[in-house]
C-alpha cells in the first residue's frame, strides 16, 4: 500500500519492530472473505450456494468459514434469508470471549455500538436460552441497517434501539455484559476499505480516544457488579486500545481479565491490562483489538416504576401460536392491531426499555389484524421461533426465489387465500398469499433486491 500516512507507517514500524515489513506486505494482499453461519437456520451445514467456494474454517469461531472468492451476496437467497452473515474473521473472536464468561444462566447483554450487526448477530447466537440482547446504534441511518440485519438473522430475543450512550442512564446495573465495539480510527480497515486511509490523521486519534472515554463513562453504570465489559476496536493504535483498558481500570472499580488464547497468531498487547491484537500478517483477517474487563462494584438494578401507559400482554392467538416453536414461553402484545410476540420473562424489561429509549424493533412483530382477519408480517417469516413444519411452504428454485426477492410475481400452486412461506434450500424468505391466478408477494418493498438480476440466473 503506497498511500499510507507517513506518521502511521513510522508508528507501526516502532510498534512492530522486526515484524513491520511482514505487516506492510500483508496490507498489499487482498482482504480475505469470511462468513459466519446462523446455527439455528443452517444447523451448522454450509448452504449449497457456498459449497463450491468454501475454503477453510476460521480458527476461533466454529461457525466461521473463509471463502475462496467474494460472491455477489445480494443474489444468494440463503444470505437474504439470514442463513449466514458476512463478517471479517478476526472480529469473530468476540464469540470466543463470550464463551469464557457465559455459562448456562440467562444473561442480559447490551451491544452499544452495534451497526451493522456483526457482533450482535454473533452474540445473540452465543447466548444461553432465555437471554436478551439489546442491540443499539446511535446513528439513525445505521440503526435502520442494524434492524434489518437483526430481523434477517431471526433471533427474536432482541431489542434494537437507536440511542446515544448517555440515554442508558436509567438502566443502572441492568446488564450482565456490555459490548463496546467502539468507533475508532479504523486503521485495521485500511486493506478492506482503502477509502478509510484518507480519513486518518493524528488529530483524529485524540478525537477517537476522547470519544471512547466518553462512551465508556456514559455506559459504565449500566453494568452489574461482577458483570463484564468487552471492549474492542478495529485499529492498531495503542492510545485507543490497551491505554483505554488501563484507563478503565484506573477510572472505575474494574479489573482486566486474561483469557487463554486459542491460537499463537494472536498478539497479546504490551501493557498492564490484558488486550489482544489481531494483525493481518499473523492472523487471516483484518486488524482488530479486544479486551475483557470485569466490574467490581455497583448497585443492584432496581427497575423504575413505568410512567407511561402499560401495554397489556395476552395469550398468543391460536392462528399464530400454532406457527411458533415454544409458544408456551412467549406472550403477545397488541398495539394498533399489530401483534408482537415477545419472551414472557422479559416483558417487563422490554416495557421499561420502550418507555426510556427509542426502540425500533423488539421481539417478533408477527401479524396485523384487519377486518377480523390476520395478515402475517415479514419478521414472522424470518424468526427462528417459526415452526416451518406448521406452515404451507413453497420451495422455490433459484430464478423464482430471486424474482420473489425482487418483489415480482411468481406462480405457486396453493389454495386461494392460503398463506405460503416461500423458502429456498429450506431457508425462509418471506410470505406470499395465493389469490387464485397469482401469488400476492408480501415481501416488504424496502427489503426487495434493487439490483438488476443477471439474465443467466433468471
List residues near ligand SAM by CB under 6 A: 113-119, 137-139, 142, 165, 181, 183, 211, 215, 234
The total number of residues shown for the chain amounts to 458
Considering beta carbons, is residue 211 or 281 the nearer one to ligand SAM? 211
Considering beta carbons, is residue 182 or 443 the nearer one to ligand SAM? 182
Tell me the Ramachandran region of residue 347: left when phi exceeds 0, alpha when psi lies from -120 to 50, beta otherwise: alpha
Angstrom distance (rounded) from CA 136 to CA 114: 5
Considering beta carbons, is residue 234 or 359 the nearer one to ligand SAM? 234
Considering beta carbons, is residue 89 or 422 the nearer one to ligand SAM? 89
Asked if residues 135 and 113 have their Cβ atoms less than 8 Å apart, the reply is no
Q: Closest approach of Cβ 213 to ligand SAM, in Å?
A: 11
Considering beta carbons, is residue 166 or 387 the nearer one to ligand SAM? 166
Asked if residues 200 and 8 have their Cβ atoms less than 8 Å apart, the reply is yes
Q: Would you call 208 a catalytic residue per the annotation?
A: no
List, as one string, the DSSP characters of 149-168. HHHHH---SEEEE---GGGG
- In a 13 Å sphere around the CA of 442, the CA atoms on its Cβ side amount to 25
Q: Closest approach of Cβ 283 to ligand SAM, in Å?
A: 17
Can you tell me which residue has the cell 432465555? 130
Nearest residue to 320 (alpha-carbon basis) of 371, 370, 385, 382? 385
Considering beta carbons, is residue 112 or 320 the nearer one to ligand SAM? 112
The helix-helix angle for 6-16 and 20-27 (nearest 10°) equals 130
Going by the DSSP 8-state scheme, the letter that residue 139 receives in this structure is S
Q: Closest approach of Cβ 187 to ligand SAM, in Å?
A: 12
Q: Closest approach of Cβ 26 to ligand SAM, in Å?
A: 21
Asked if residues 353 and 368 have their Cβ atoms less than 8 Å apart, the reply is no
Q: In Å, what is the CA distance from 77 to each residue of 100, 191, 307, 398, 452?
A: 34, 28, 44, 8, 15
Angstrom distance (rounded) from CA 91 to CA 224: 25
Q: Closest approach of Cβ 117 to ligand SAM, in Å?
A: 5
Angstrom distance (rounded) from CA 358 to CA 146: 14
Q: Closest approach of Cβ 32 to ligand SAM, in Å?
A: 17
List, as one string, the DSSP characters of 66-115. EESS---GGG-HHHHTTSEEE--SGGGHHHHHHHHH--SS--EEEESS-T
Catalytic residue among 61, 78, 184, 234: 234
Q: In Å, what is the CA distance from 260 to each residue of 89, 97, 264, 286, 381?
A: 19, 10, 10, 21, 40
Q: Closest approach of Cβ 214 to ligand SAM, in Å?
A: 7
Tell me the Ramachandran region of residue 41: left when phi exceeds 0, alpha when psi lies from -120 to 50, beta otherwise: alpha
Q: In Å, what is the CA distance from 52 to each residue of 42, 128, 405?
A: 17, 33, 23
Considering beta carbons, is residue 32 or 117 the nearer one to ligand SAM? 117
Angstrom distance (rounded) from CA 375 to CA 455: 33
Considering beta carbons, is residue 142 or 433 the nearer one to ligand SAM? 142
Q: Closest approach of Cβ 335 to ligand SAM, in Å?
A: 28
Which residues participate in catalysis according to the annotation? 234
Amino acid at each position: 500500500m503506497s498511500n499510507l500516512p507517513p506518521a502511521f507507517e513510522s508508528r507501526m514500524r516502532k510498534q512492530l519492530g522486526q515484524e513491520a515489513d511482514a505487516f506492510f506486505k500483508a496490507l498489499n494482499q487482498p482482504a480475505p472473505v469470511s462468513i459466519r453461519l446462523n446455527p439455528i437456520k443452517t444447523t451448522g451445514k454450509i448452504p449449497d450456494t457456498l459449497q463450491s467456494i468454501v475454503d477453510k474454517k476460521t480458527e476461533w469461531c466454529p461457525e466461521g468459514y473463509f471463502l475462496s472468492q467474494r460472491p455477489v451476496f445480494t443474489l444468494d437467497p440463503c444470505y437474504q434469508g439470514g442463513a449466514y452473515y458476512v463478517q471479517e474473521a478476526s472480529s469473530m473472536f468476540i464469540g470466543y470471549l463470550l464463551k469464557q464468561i457465559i455459562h448456562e444462566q440467562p444473561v442480559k447483554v447490551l451491544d452499544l455500538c452495534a451497526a451493522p450487526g456483526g457482533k450482535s448477530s454473533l452474540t445473540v447466537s452465543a447466548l444461553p436460552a432465555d437471554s436478551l440482547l439489546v442491540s443499539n446504534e446511535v446513528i439513525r441511518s445505521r440503526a435502520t441497517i442494524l434492524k434489518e440485519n437483526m430481523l434477517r438473522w431471526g433471533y427474536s430475543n432482541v431489542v434494537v434501539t437507536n440511542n446515544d450512550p448517555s440515554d442508558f442512564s436509567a438502566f443502572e446495573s441492568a446488564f450482565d455484559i456490555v459490548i463496546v465495539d467502539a468507533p475508532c480510527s479504523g486503521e485495521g480497515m485500511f486493506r478492506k476499505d482503502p477509502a478509510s486511509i484518507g480519513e486518518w490523521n493524528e488529530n483524529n486519534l485524540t478525537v477517537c480516544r476522547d470519544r471512547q472515554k466518553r462512551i465508556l463513562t456514559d455506559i459504565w453504570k449500566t453494568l452489574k457488579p461482577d458483570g463484564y465489559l468487552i471492549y474492542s476496536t478495529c485499529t492498531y493504535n495503542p492510545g485507543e486500545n490497551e491505554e483505554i483498558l488501563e484507563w478503565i481500570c484506573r477510572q472505575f472499580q474494574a479489573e482486566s481479565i486474561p483469557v487463554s488464547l486459542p491460537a499463537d497468531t494472536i498478539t497479546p498487547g504490551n501493557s498492564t491490562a490484558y488486550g489482544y491484537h489481531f494483525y493481518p500478517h499473523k492472523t487471516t483477517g483484518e486488524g482488530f483489538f479486544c479486551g475483557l474487563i470485569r466490574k467490581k462494584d455497583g448497585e443492584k438494578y432496581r427497575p423504575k416504576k413505568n410512567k407511561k401507559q402499560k401495554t397489556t400482554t395476552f395469550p398468543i392467538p391460536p392462528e399464530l401460536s400454532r406457527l411458533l416453536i415454544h409458544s408456551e414461553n412467549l406472550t403477545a402484545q397488541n398495539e394498533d392491531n399489530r401483534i408482537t410476540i415477545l419472551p414472557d420473562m422479559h416483558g417487563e424489561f422490554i416495557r421499561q426499555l420502550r418507555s426510556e429509549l427509542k426502540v425500533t424493533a423488539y421481539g417478533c412483530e408477527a401479524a396485523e389484524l384487519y377486518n377480523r382477519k390476520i395478515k402475517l408480517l415479514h419478521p414472522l417469516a424470518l424468526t427462528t421461533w417459526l415452526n416451518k413444519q406448521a406452515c404451507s411452504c413453497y420451495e422455490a428454485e433459484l430464478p423464482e426465489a430471486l424474482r420473489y426477492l425482487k418483489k415480482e410475481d411468481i406462480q405457486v400452486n396453493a389454495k386461494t387465500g392460503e398463506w405460503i412461506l416461500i423458502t429456498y434450500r429450506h431457508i425462509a424468505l418471506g410470505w406470499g398469499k395465493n389469490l387464485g391466478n397469482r401469488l400476492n408477494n408480501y415481501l416488504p418493498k424496502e427489503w426487495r433486491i434493487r439490483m438488476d438480476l443477471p439474465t443467466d440466473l433468471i
